[in-house]
Chain A
């Protein structure tokens, strides 16, 4: 590569399984699978942003080797389909009248996601020498009731295509799917491995970083490596020595702290300003109202508040979230919650 990659998160993205930071147990299991050349459907479980997809992807790459490009696909269950894809799915589901049978001229009603993204891939034969294709479905739990459509699919096309389902919440995956998969728990990266990684990067980028700073980085980024590297790069802009203040300043610019600043503005009791800020956050980050409520809840649990305040705030959020389930206009529910917090702040 002639030019250096300017984004560290991409630059230090591991190239193969061996380079993945920590998680020895998972790596061992996967490597055994690669040797045996056979595996059942897999279900990766672990909290958000710790590298499940990355591991699954690298695993597929090593497993399929040179046939990787043709036989691998990654689909996101939580990204809504575009209009073209919906259209395509509708036409694909149509059985032409030239076919004989009672279903001629009708449409098969499979869920659109499966019709558009999954079926076209799994139905095609394996290319090259690979034993089977690999399909990764990310955020599988967001499929909801569409999961049912996967049950038969996994059996019928199982010989042709193995699936790796990735999820953060195993509880919202239906039992029949869980029973068809081997579960692989992906844990957070261990602190000492994390230290090794950061020190390695620091060496390559000629940075000075103290032990305490690394521990702090680990805490701020919740053990998410990509976010930690982002923070490190931002802090490196101001100088080669990374200080705790740098890390802290930069982390404020990130989104969890946006929610915190929203709360801070609300606690000052200025409603119009609060609503404007909330609207900017919602439109910039494209959160739904429900996601905003959830983030607020997480943030309130982190803030140093009295038990009384905290429980009251949580009940306010719960109430608004509940109402927004039925409500038509999410902006009203968000505004209502903020106005309540503004009023509540007068008694804090």
Chain B
């Protein structure tokens, strides 16, 4: 006889995972700058996909028949579902309900979810064997019964990384081109190695739930589990600390609720620490208040913020804390030296140099502040906005533009961007007639025309 699982064994996160998209609290989301409703958007994505697939399959059938009779030789290529209709990407911080949305959606549509996540090896071969067959074939039983539709769900796609997962991204791209089933992907953050993917498909930014929603859900779970020991201000503390991460909240209240509550609950809550953005913000604010190298070192030792990013954050935010040119000069002198040392560490693998790197980019930078007073007000800390590409790369629009130019005038991509495009911008900025002439002659579309917009510096 099978042992039935005890209720208390299931993590609450799984236990309270919403069954339908209708009864879940939806996080807000954005596509580019536009605010959208995630449930409508995803539902219409699936509906459109099925519509498109039907259409395309019918077309391919025709093409195949044509080819058999060799009437239409031009139409050798079978048509495919355009990539932006075949797949979407949800991007947002962990624990806000991305996975839940996908499963709830699949449940609503009565679909089977084929999932891969970061725990699977995702080499080219592994991914292919798992996904490709399911995407291309429709299963042997399809002839007899009407099987469930399938939904391919690639979770934690930003976890595709390193040597183990080599070749996975091209496979995913391939998959998007050839799929017979809709694909939804999730990731936590922007990754440069996913750029080819971003170029192809729609990328929704999912934002954390508002606090009052989180409170509502947490309270309903506490009611369900009959836990009355957790005071509401403690709950607030948990929610604040998790910073929108609903999964974190549920895990924390399970951790606290199922254990025996003795002693100081607040201490316990604070010990359940989870890395969050707020930590970087406070760390940077604190860092510029230090008065000695030791303090700076203590601060960075205590926090577990990744130093790979931290020094970029410092580079971006330095100018809000340090104002005079002399101080800036000293700060950047130290920061650039730190950067150089870090680069050398990475190339030579001589990690013994790491302490210099640490001291220079934390204390070295922070202690350069001598004249600028510590501001009492709130200092806004911003994301590192700019990352300079180490090599020359073009967007899709630019590439199309160059292709069009090259039909009439041979020019290399680099010359075009650095020499010809600035001229075209000035020329087309002069008058609307010029813009019309040029774009008519080159047969540009609206997107490419936007490249010609002249902005004076």
Query: Which of A's residues lie within 8 Å of B, judged by CB?
Result: 3, 5-7, 9-10, 13, 49, 53, 57, 74, 76, 78-80, 83, 87, 138-139, 226-227, 230, 233-234, 237, 250, 253-255, 258, 261, 269, 271-272, 275, 277, 279-283, 285-289, 320, 323, 326-336, 339-340, 342-343, 346
B426 in contact with A327 (CB, 8 Å): no
Which of chain A's residues have a CB closer than 8 A to the CB of B298? none
A-B contact pairs, 14 of them (CB 8 A): A9-B409, A49-B419, A79-B412, A80-B392, A230-B427, A271-B328, A275-B319, A277-B457, A286-B392, A286-B394, A323-B340, A329-B315, A330-B388, A336-B333
Which of chain B's residues have a CB closer than 8 A to the CB of A343? 325-326, 328-329
Which of chain A's residues have a CB closer than 8 A to the CB of B426? 234, 250, 253-254
Interface of chain B residues 431 through 448 with chain A (CB within 8 A): 431, 434, 437-438, 440-441
B413 in contact with A87 (CB, 8 Å): no
B413 in contact with A79 (CB, 8 Å): yes
A254 in contact with B423 (CB, 8 Å): yes
Known: A237-B431, A285-B418, A286-B392. A335 touches B441 (CB 8 A): no
Select the stretch in B7-15, B259-267, B343-351, B375-383 that faces chain A.
B343-351
Which of chain B's residues have a CB closer than 8 A to the CB of A282? 388
Which of chain A's residues have a CB closer than 8 A to the CB of B389? 286
Which applies to chain A's interface (DSSP): helix, strand, loop or mixed? helix
Chain B nearest Cβ from A246, distance in angstroms:
12
Which of chain B's residues have a CB closer than 8 A to the CB of A13? 409
Q: How far is the CA of A78 from the CA of B391 in the complex (A)?
A: 11
Q: What is the size, in residues, of chain B's interface with A at 8 Å between Cβ atoms?
A: 56
Interface of chain B residues 399 through 434 with chain A (CB within 8 A): 408-410, 412-414, 417-420, 422-424, 426-427, 430-431, 434
Chain B nearest Cβ from A128, distance in angstroms:
21
Check if B161 is an interface residue, CB within 8 A of chain A: no
B340 in contact with A6 (CB, 8 Å): no
Name the one of B335, B410, B441 contacting A332, with C-beta atoms under 8 angstroms: B335
Name the one of A230, A286, A332 contacting B339, with C-beta atoms under 8 angstroms: A332
Check if B386 is an interface residue, CB within 8 A of chain A: yes
A76 in contact with B414 (CB, 8 Å): yes
A237 in contact with B332 (CB, 8 Å): no
Check if B129 is an interface residue, CB within 8 A of chain A: no
Q: How far is the CA of A343 from the CA of B418 in the complex (A)?
A: 30
Known: A253-B422, A331-B387. A326 touches B329 (CB 8 A): no
Name the one of B336, B427, B437 contacting A327, with C-beta atoms under 8 angstroms: B336
Best-buried of A230, A261, A286 by chain B (most CB within 10 Å): A286
Q: How far is the CA of A283 from the CA of B387 in the complex (A)?
A: 10
The 10 closest A-B pairs by CB, nearest first: A336-B336, A6-B437, A336-B332, A343-B329, A326-B343, A327-B339, A339-B332, A343-B325, A76-B412, A330-B388
A78 in contact with B388 (CB, 8 Å): no
Name the one of B325, B340, B412, B413 contacting A326, with C-beta atoms under 8 angstroms: B340
Which of chain B's residues have a CB closer than 8 A to the CB of A331? 315, 386-388
Which of chain B's residues have a CB closer than 8 A to the CB of A280? 457
Which of chain B's residues have a CB closer than 8 A to the CB of A329? 311-312, 315, 339, 387-388
Chain B nearest Cβ from A215, distance in angstroms:
22
B337 in contact with A323 (CB, 8 Å): yes
Which of chain B's residues have a CB closer than 8 A to the CB of A254? 422-423, 426
B326 in contact with A271 (CB, 8 Å): no
How many A-B residue pairs have C-beta atoms within 8 angstroms? Tell me: 156
A272 in contact with B427 (CB, 8 Å): no
Which applies to chain B's interface (DSSP): helix, strand, loop or mixed? helix
Chain B nearest Cβ from A192, distance in angstroms:
26
Check if B159 is an interface residue, CB within 8 A of chain A: no
Which of chain A's residues have a CB closer than 8 A to the CB of B409? 7, 9-10, 13
Known: A261-B457, A332-B339. A87 touches B315 (CB 8 A): no
Best-buried of A49, A87, A287, A327 by chain B (most CB within 10 Å): A327
Q: How far is the CA of A334 from the CA of B388 in the complex (A)?
A: 10
- The residue in chain A whose Cβ has the minimal distance to the Cβ of B308 is A328
Chain A nearest Cβ from B14, distance in angstroms:
38
Known: A57-B410, A335-B332. A3 touches B441 (CB 8 A): yes
Check if B390 is an interface residue, CB within 8 A of chain A: yes
Q: How far is the CA of A190 from the CA of B399 in the complex (A)?
A: 36
Which of chain A's residues have a CB closer than 8 A to the CB of B423? 9, 227, 230, 234, 254
- The residue in chain A whose Cβ has the minimal distance to the Cβ of B386 is A279
Known: A138-B412, A277-B457, A342-B328. A333 touches B339 (CB 8 A): yes
Q: How far is the CA of A83 from the CA of B199 in the complex (A)?
A: 13
Chain A nearest Cβ from B456, distance in angstroms:
8
Check if B204 is an interface residue, CB within 8 A of chain A: no
Which of chain A's residues have a CB closer than 8 A to the CB of B430? 234, 237
Name the one of A7, A9, A80 contacting B391, with C-beta atoms under 8 angstroms: A80
- The residue in chain B whose Cβ has the minimal distance to the Cβ of A331 is B388
A6 in contact with B434 (CB, 8 Å): yes
Q: How far is the CA of A5 from the CA of B442 in the complex (A)?
A: 10
Known: A10-B408, A327-B339, A335-B315. A79 touches B392 (CB 8 A): yes
Check if B196 is an interface residue, CB within 8 A of chain A: yes
A330 in contact with B414 (CB, 8 Å): no
Q: How far is the CA of A237 from the CA of B4 in the complex (A)?
A: 83
- The residue in chain B whose Cβ has the minimal distance to the Cβ of A79 is B413
Known: A138-B412, A320-B336, A340-B332. 12 other contacts (CB 8 A): A3-B440, A3-B441, A6-B441, A9-B423, A53-B410, A79-B414, A227-B419, A237-B434, A271-B325, A288-B390, A326-B347, A329-B387
Check if B145 is an interface residue, CB within 8 A of chain A: no
Which of chain A's residues have a CB closer than 8 A to the CB of B408? 10
B390 in contact with A330 (CB, 8 Å): yes
Q: How far is the CA of A200 from the CA of B114 in the complex (A)?
A: 69
- The residue in chain A whose Cβ has the minimal distance to the Cβ of B334 is A336
